[in-house]
């Protein structure tokens, strides 16, 4: 895929939403795009903004069209099309548990956005398509997400703290130590974390280590040499550490190449492989 032919837009830094990152993509030249999405420590919403035939995604051997939500560890997932425009929204599992309401049930699955948000999905898509700029689209998306965050009870503070510590430590933290930090037993933390976020604390740590190693590789750096880190970060349940073989005649690229994590916040922004940045 030629990223020089893709405009990328991100929200202004003056309007951050904790645990939420957004990026807009517009493909300028008609060409077959085939992107392999690899495991990532977030729940991903991809909103198709193309008029007519747009985004196509393939999950578990089933071809679907339109906007979708990819839960944690969605398995083999590809997305693409000939020419299109989409808004990618990544939610930390803690935020997703509130915004989506069924975040835990999405683990290991890919679902149409309409199946998750019902009629609201179509209304949001229509508003985003009608917007005149990416800046307006980001404002609309932030308003929708903010209202859903305010309307629903948040995840347990102990669960949120455990996820935050797992992310900021790059997955190198012991569950027993986290349980001591929040004042819960290991069993209670394991149970509540899995109930609200859909994965266990141990699996979350593996996923974060994998993501950290993938970003190091994408940036051209060697991964840490610790045997424990190497063995676990290269292999997280339901994921593969590289893009799947591209289909014949397609241009395939791993989606991990698009983004990097800001070390202080854990938020994701377009990285050096994302082509040129569009204007918001």
pLDDT tens digits for range 184-214: 999 999 999 999 999 999 999 999 998 888 8
* β partners of residue 68: 46, 112
Asked if 153 contacts 160 with a C-beta cutoff of 8 angstroms, the reply is no
Tokens encoding 4: 């020089």
Dihedral of the alpha carbons of 50, 254, 170, 271, in degrees to the nearest 10: -70
Q: How far is the C-alpha of 12 from the C-alpha of 261, rounded, in Å? A: 16
Residue 271 has what pLDDT?
36
Quote the longest CA-to-CA distance of the chain. Answer: 55
Are 109 and 71 in contact, with CB atoms under 8 Å apart? yes
pLDDT for the residue numbered 57? 76
Strands 6-9 and 62-65: unpaired
Handedness of CA 44, 95, 229, 264 (dihedral sign): positive
List pLDDT tens digits, range 92-103.
Answer: 999 999 998 766
Identify the pLDDT of residue 192. 95
Name the average pLDDT for the chain: 76
Which residues, at least 6 apart from 23, have a Cβ–Cβ distance to it below 8 Å?
A: 8, 9, 10, 87, 88, 258, 259, 268, 269, 270, 274
Pairwise pLDDT comparison (116 vs 78), residue with the higher score: 116
pLDDT, tens digit (0-9, with 9 covering 90-100), for 226-253: 444 443 444 444 443 333 233 333 333 3
Contacts of 8 (CB under 8 A, 6+ apart): 23, 24, 25, 258, 270, 274, 275, 276, 277, 278
All structural domains of the chain, each given as residue ranges with its CATH number in brackets, are 3-154+245-270 (2.60.120.10), 157-233 (no CATH)
DSSP secondary structure of 240-261: -SSPPPPPTT-EEEEGGGGEEE
Residue given tokens 């899995």 in the structure block: 194
What is the model's pLDDT at position 78? Answer: 74
Interacting residues of 61 by C-beta distance below 8 A, sequence separation 6+ = none
pLDDT at position 32: 62
pLDDT score recorded for residue 224: 58
């Amino acid at each position: 895929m030629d990223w020089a032919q893709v405009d990328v837009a991100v929200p202004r830094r003056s309007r951050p939403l904790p645990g939420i990152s957004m990026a807009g993509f517009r493909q300028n030249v008609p060409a077959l795009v085939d992107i392999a999405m690899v495991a990532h420590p977030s729940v991903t919403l991809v909103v198709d903004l193309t008029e007519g035939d747009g985004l196509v995604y393939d999950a578990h051997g089933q071809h679907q069209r339109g906007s979708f939500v990819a839960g944690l560890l969605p398995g083999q997932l590809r997305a693409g099309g000939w020419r299109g425009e989409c808004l990618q929204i990544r939610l930390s599992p803690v935020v997703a548990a509130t915004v989506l309401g069924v975040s835990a049930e999405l683990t290991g699955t890919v679902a149409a956005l309409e199946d998750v948000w019902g009629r609201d999905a179509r209304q949001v898509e229509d508003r985003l398509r009608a917007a005149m700029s990416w800046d307006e689209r980001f404002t609309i998306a932030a308003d929708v997400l903010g209202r859903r965050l305010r309307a629903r009870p948040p995840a347990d503070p102990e669960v949120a703290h455990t996820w935050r510590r797992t992310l900021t430590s790059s997955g190198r933290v012991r569950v027993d130590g986290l349980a001591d930090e929040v004042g819960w037993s290991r069993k209670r933390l394991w149970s509540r974390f899995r109930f609200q976020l859909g994965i266990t604390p141990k699996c979350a740590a593996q996923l974060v280590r994998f993501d950290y190693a993938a970003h190091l590789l994408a940036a051209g750096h060697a991964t840490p040499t610790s045997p424990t880190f190497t063995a676990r970060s290269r292999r997280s349940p339901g994921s593969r550490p590289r893009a799947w073989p591209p289909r014949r005649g397609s241009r395939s690229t791993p989606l991990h190449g698009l983004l990097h994590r800001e070390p202080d916040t854990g938020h994701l922004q377009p990285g050096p492989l994302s082509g040129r940045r569009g204007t918001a």
